[in-house]
Structure 1
Amino acid sequence: MKTYQIPFKSTGFFSKTMLHYLEQNSKIKSFYNNFPSLDGFKNQIVEKRNSYNSETRANLFSVLTEQYEKVNISEETQTNLSKLKEPNTFTVTTGHQLNLFTGPLYFLYKIISAINLCEELAIQFPEENFVPVYWMATEDHDFDEINYFNFKQEKIRWNSNQQGGVGRFKTEGLEEVFSVLSNHFGTSKNAVYLKNLFKQGYFEHSTLAEATRYIANELFGKYGLVIVEADNARLKRELIPFIKEELFDQTSYKTVLNASEELAQNYKVQVNPREINLFYLIDGLRERIVLEDTIYKVNNTDVSFSREEIEEELEKHPERFSPNVIMRPLYQEVILPNLCYIGGGGELAYWMQLKEFFNKVSVPYPILLLRNSVQVLTEKQERKLASLNVSIKELFLKQKDLLKLKVNENAEETVNFNEQRKFLEEQFVMLRGVAKKTDMSFIGAVNAQEKKQLKGLANLEKRLLRAEKRKQQDLVHRITTLQEEVLPNQSLEERQRNFSEYFIEYGDSFLDALKENLKPLDLEFTMLVMK
């Protein structure tokens, strides 16, 4: 098996925000705390140790122990659960929605990044314990985002009209999904394993949260992964002081709005805060809490509270108060002895809007780590790349740029007018100089003529390139087919494909290859060639 690593920048798929973060650009430094380096983790350990109290730790251990009572827990996960009682134990967390059958490939990459980082930190800091955590987004209510997965460009969808937090959804009615899945998967040994995994996950567990926990535990329990279901009254009780501040002072709105305005000067802002960043959550319902005059209302319902009533409701039923995208990170950092959050580029970008909020409420802001990203190649695809003389980096070029490059490399006469364009621009520089000395009113005419001439040259270049592509149509077809095979829809496959495609082909060796080769602290994009 071969691996290659290339800079994230070379793929063309990562935002300016993330590239500047990885470069530790001065423009973005004020929006994060410790950087994901060994020195950064050393500092983060001290910060978290000084802020995380023993009562919160004991409550976490008690709740997780209860949540795992009905789970076939591995020895490794049991060991990590026990370690969570110890004051020298810290977590590395990643979170993800409850996508049907794990959803896109990067679900795996997130979790393996967390597992491998914990192993690396254990080597570097032998006096401490590190536990990988998967935070299930059970309180999410956007079912349309999670009710499907793709298999060989076919969408396998679960239709349901249930409402509210998706973790509470009943798994009834998935027989039709299983029937479609079975037809697609085939009858190989690996396919049978996956079908049994689906059946045991969704047919033997009553809720989507329980099913997702089962599947994630089956895939990653041997590595000691701990799975957190935060839709829990005892865990939410830890958040009560912060929920009160949110309801009565709107601290997150003020601080995140300020940080977002600063961030927007150079980067795209991912989320916009609301005055109250909480939902009201009961079975079948998750709706925003809004403040109108002095009354707290649950959006799209007749439910409302006075200040005193909502405070009483919070004390009696903290589980009914659900954090949105702004408050959820705080909830995580309050209840876990967490050092680092591992996420995709979009996730980390919105975390960067939150540092000022964390500082204001005196909760340590975690290290942010861009998850591993992987492009899988087969040996056959690697050989095709070599025969076409396409390098790994060139594979990520926009298709029109890649074809132009390779057609030119193979043309008898290069279709590239860069020299002519440069010569033309130099002539118009001279003409502008003449115009300035004679009559300034001619400057506009000179500029217009330059634009016209350059446009004509570009059109001529495009026509000649199209003609050359027709001459080399076999090469063009082979390159186009290969690139679209590797990068479906001209995007990273990790957002398009489900792990089942590779598991059916390679079985456990696929997961083993990821575990062996993903290096979270290398901060580079991984190309993995499977035999």
Structure 2
Amino acid sequence: MPTDCISYQNSGYFSSLMNDYLDQKNNLYSLYNRFPKLENFEDQILEKQSNFDNNNRPVLVSVLQKQYLNVETSALTKQNIEDLALPNTFTVTTGHQLNLLSGPLYFLYKIISTINLTTELKAKYPSYSFVPIYWMATEDHDFEEINYFNFKGKKFRWNTESTGPVGRLSTKGLKDFFEVFALELGSSTNAEAVKKMFQESYLNHDNLADATRHLANVLFGAYGLVILDADNSDLKRAFIPYAKEELLHQSSHNLVLETAEKLKNYTIQVNPREINLFYIEDTLRERIILENGKYKVNHTKIEFSEGEILALLENHPEKFSPNVIMRPLYQEAILPNLCYIGGGGEIAYWLELKSFFAAAKVTFPMLLLRNSVLLATKKQAKKADKINLSWKDLFSKQAELLNFKTKQLSEFPIDLSPMKEQLQKQFEALYEIANHTDESFIGAVKAQEVKQTKGLENLEKRLLKAQKRKLSEVLQRITDLQNELFPNESLQERQANFSEFYLENGADLIPAIVNKLKPLEQNFDIITLP
């Protein structure tokens, strides 16, 4: 069975909006700046160069150097951080939540897409430098989304409380969690490597932001990845004018709503608030609401006059946190960024933001759908060969796949469509006769047509069911294999954690994926591992 790929559009796992975006449908042209093709990056570079405030660069470099003070940093990452001070250096960025032990596999694919795109850009545009950025979502507060991961079909959950920005959350208590997880890992060389990663990331760091930075750096530091925690007062100084505009005029609300109207035939990913900012402290992240001339912090007694909240913004910008609508603007204001790489849901909400960016006079980045991957072993590929399954077959919904293979493996046709067509012709002749006699006869003919057609359909279903029983052994093998590759009849990349594959492949896992993925190609890659 060849190690092959299937297009995103043909995989059956992407929304109609993403399929139309990838097909560059005319109705979406106004919602993005440039489609992510290698030749389009030159104009994106020139636009960002003319628009970006280079005074933000020394601050960015200083913040990153402080954040990396106690991190074992590769020479390439150090160089990339230093290069960010130069006006000919640009970034490619992905963002992700602080999922425990990185969460689902697609965390890897987002970052590798980002790294590999910078490599392609360096080859195409050698007079510029390109830096891969992982923007840690340290200010998110939805802890229930990130406090677990799946390992070999089991869910490992960190049971603790979190009410503020997750990046500031203490890692205290993860020692007990680790002891349970370590038992599942076993004692192989690769298992010990995973244990070491977990211990050094989560047990040797005080908060979730530092822990996640350590883990991402261990996995990707050699490739020059730069990891940014934007929950930072110095960085937020550059965001003050945009936050002030939001507090005083709430311009994002109407602009995003107008754009969302253009997407009304699709599922709307996010809806804007009147004010798209949060107030944050270590154990608090709540929406800012304007009521009767007062700025109130939702679910608290904290409130400010206009003058008070603007003074707070000026003196303590770190107390203001952008929500899903404002975060992209914050990112693009402080980074010399060319392209954002995300999953389908992320790209969908970015498509709502272009007019808002235009009003803020910030260059809208190119939007690239991250690589998607199915990891398979050579043993699984051989199993598929033996039962004559293609990758396209395996991407089918399970019920459809089993019906298809039953019909394909049956020694006689199960599809009774020819008989249905023959029956329809017979009734056409009867209707012709009925038109020349009493009207009541037409009703009798119609009733017989419905009855006999339904009878054939029931026979077809029973025949299919009978053949499934006869072919139960091979169909069970098909089911077992698909369940291995698509756990819970879902994408592997959304279910499994990288540690499961690290046990078998060790340090070879990341290079195997890096060497395969081409971020500008719209293919769902299948990577066969040993």
Cα pair 2:277 2:326 within 8 Å, conserved: yes
Aligned to 1:88: 88
**Residues in 2 aligned to 1:76 and 1:440: alpha-carbon distance in whole angstroms:** 86
* 1:215-226 to 2 correspondences below 5 Å: 215-226=215-226
Partner residue, 2:103: 103
Q: Which amino acid aligns with 1:250?
A: Q
Structure 1 CA distance, aligned partners of 2:455 and 2:200? 64
Match of 2:231 in 1: 231
Q: Does 1:353 align with 2:322?
A: no
Deviation at 1:406, TM superposition (A): 1.1
Deviation at 1:435, TM superposition (A): 7.8
Offset, 1:43 = 1.5
1:514-525 aligned within 5 A: 514-525=513-524
Q: What amino acid sits opposite 2:317 in the alignment?
A: P
Post-superposition shift, 1:422?
4.0
User: Residues 430, 212 of structure 1: CA spacing in aligned structure 2 closer, same or farther, 3 A cutoff?
Assistant: farther
> In 1, are the aligned partners of 2:92 and 2:133 still within 8 Å (CA)?
yes
Structure 1 position 408, deviation (Å): 1.3
| Shift in CA distance, 3/412, structure 1 to aligned 2, threshold 3 Å | closer
In the alignment, the residues of structure 1 paired with residue 441 and residue 93 of structure 2 have an alpha-carbon distance, to the nearest angstrom, of: 64
In structure 1, the residue matched to 2:129 is 129
Distance 1:136 1:427, change over 3 A: farther
Which residue identity lines up with residue 332 of structure 1 in the other structure?
Q
Kindly indicate whether the alpha-carbon contact (under 8 Å) linking 1:3 and 1:527 is maintained by their aligned counterparts in 2.
yes
Q: 1:30/1:482 Cα in 2 relative to 1: closer, same or farther (>3 Å)?
A: same
- Count of aligned pairs between the two proteins: 530
> Separation in 1 of the partners of 2:326 and 2:72?
32
- CA-CA distance at 1:6 after TM superposition: 1.3
Report how far residue 418 of structure 1 moved.
Answer: 2.6
Distance 2:136 2:488 in 1: 28
1:474 and 1:394 map into 2 onto residues whose CA distance is 18
Amino acid at match of 2:46: V
What is the aligned partner in structure 2 of residue 321 from structure 1? Answer: 320
What are the equivalent positions in structure 2 for 1:5-20 lying under 5 Å apart?
A: 5-20=5-20
1:484 aligns to 2:483 (yes or no): yes
Tell me the SS of whatever aligns to 1:109: helix
Q: AA paired with 1:208? A: L
C-alpha displacement of 1:448: 7.3
Q: Which runs of 5+ in 1 are unaligned?
A: none
| Counterpart code for 1:176 | D
1:306 match? 305
CA distance in 2, matches of 1:344, 1:421: 44
SS of 1:28's partner is helix
Aligned equivalent of 1:114: 114
In structure 2, distance between residues paired with 1:198 and 1:12: 35
Aligned pairs for 1:491-510 within 5 A? 491-510=490-509
Displacement of 1:454 in angstroms is: 4.3
Q: Is the 8 A contact 1:113 1:519 kept in 2?
A: yes
Alignment match, 1:387: 386
- Identity rate of aligned residues, in percent? 54
Amino acid at match of 1:405: F
Stretch moving more, 55-64 or 108-117: 55-64
Distance 1:333 1:44 in 2: 13
Paired residue secondary structure (1:92): strand
Verify the 8 A CA contact 2:48 2:338 in the aligned structure 1.
yes
**For residue 243 of structure 1, what is the aligned residue in structure 2?**
243
Q: Which residue identity lines up with residue 333 of structure 1 in the other structure?
A: E
Q: Deviations over 1:157-183 (max 9, x none)?
A: 111113200000000000111011110
Q: CA deviation at 1:361?
A: 1.2
CA distance in 1, matches of 2:337, 2:482: 40
Residue 400 of structure 1: how far off its partner (Å)? 1.4
In 2, are the aligned partners of 1:3 and 1:517 still within 8 Å (CA)? no
1:365-420 deviations in Å (ceiling 9; x for gaps): 11110100000111111011011011110111111111111111211212112333
Give yes or no for contact 1:10–1:396 (8 Å, CA) kept in 2.
Answer: no
Contact 1:2 1:528 in 2 (8 A): no
User: Does the CA contact (< 8 Å) of 1:343 and 1:371 recur in 2?
Assistant: yes
Q: Does the CA contact (< 8 Å) of 2:98 and 2:212 recur in 1? A: yes
Equivalent residue of 1:289, what SS? Answer: strand
3-state SS, counterpart of residue 13 of structure 1: coil
CA gap of 1:426–1:210, structure 2 versus 1, over 3 A, is: farther
Deviation at 1:3, TM superposition (A): 3.4
Cα distance between partner residues in 2 of 1:329 and 1:381: 41
Alpha carbon RMSD of aligned pairs, Å? 2.0
Check the 8 A contact 1:16/1:267 in 2, yes or no: yes
Change (3 A) 1:57 1:3: farther
C-alpha distance in structure 2 between counterparts of 1:268 and 1:443, whole Å:
45
Amino acid at match of 2:498: F
State how far apart, in whole Å, the 2-side matches of 1:94 and 1:406 are: 40
TM-score by length of 1: 0.96
Provide the residue aligned with 2:396 in structure 1: 397
Q: Which residue of 2 aligns with 1:363?
A: 362
Superposition deviation, residue 436 in structure 1: 8.4
Q: 1:463 to 1:63 in 2, by over 3 A?
A: same
Residues 279 and 447 from structure 1, CA distance in 2 versus in 1: closer, same or farther, beyond 3 angstroms?
farther
Distance 1:11 1:87 in 2: 41
Q: What secondary structure does 1:517 align onto?
A: coil
Question: Counterpart amino acid of 1:259?
Answer: T
Summarize the Cα distance change of 1:124–1:430 in structure 2 as closer, same or farther, 3 Å threshold: farther
Structure 1 segment 424-443 matched on structure 2, within 5 A: 424=423
Give 1:183-194 correspondences, 5 Å limit.
183-194=183-194
Matches within 5 A, 1:413-424: 413-424=412-423
The aligned residue for residue 281 of structure 1 is 280
Conservation of the 8 A alpha-carbon contact between 1:279 and 1:321: yes
Moved more, 354-363 or 499-508: 354-363
Shift of residue 332, structure 1, vs aligned partner: 0.6
- Per the TM alignment, residue 62 of structure 1 is displaced from its structure 2 partner at its CA by 1.4
Hey, what's the Cα distance between the residues in 2 that align with 1:30 and 1:437?
Answer: 59
Range with bigger deviation, 103-112 or 413-422: 413-422
Q: What SS class does the counterpart of residue 519 from structure 1 fall into?
A: coil
| More displaced stretch, 481-490 vs 2-11 | 2-11
Give the match for residue 33 of structure 1: 33
Q: Which moved more, 1:437-446 or 1:77-86?
A: 437-446
In 2, distance between residues paired with 1:101 and 1:339? 29
> Pairwise mapping of residues 247-258 of structure 1 onto structure 2 (< 5 A)?
247-258=247-258
Could you tell me how far apart the structure 2 residues matched to 1:272 and 1:171 are? Answer: 33
Is the CA contact (8 Å cut-off) linking 2:141 and 2:162 kept in structure 1?
no
Could you say which residue in structure 1 is the equivalent of 2:45?
Answer: 45
CA contact (8 A) 2:288 2:298 kept: yes
What is residue 76 of structure 1 aligned with on the other side? 76
Unpaired runs of at least 5, structure 2:
none
Say if 1:165 and 1:410 are closer, same or farther in 2 by CA, change over 3 A. Answer: same
- Cα deviation for residue 451 of structure 1 reads 5.6
Letter in 2 for 1:461: E
Take 2:252 and 2:441, find their aligned partners in 1: how far apart are those partners? 57
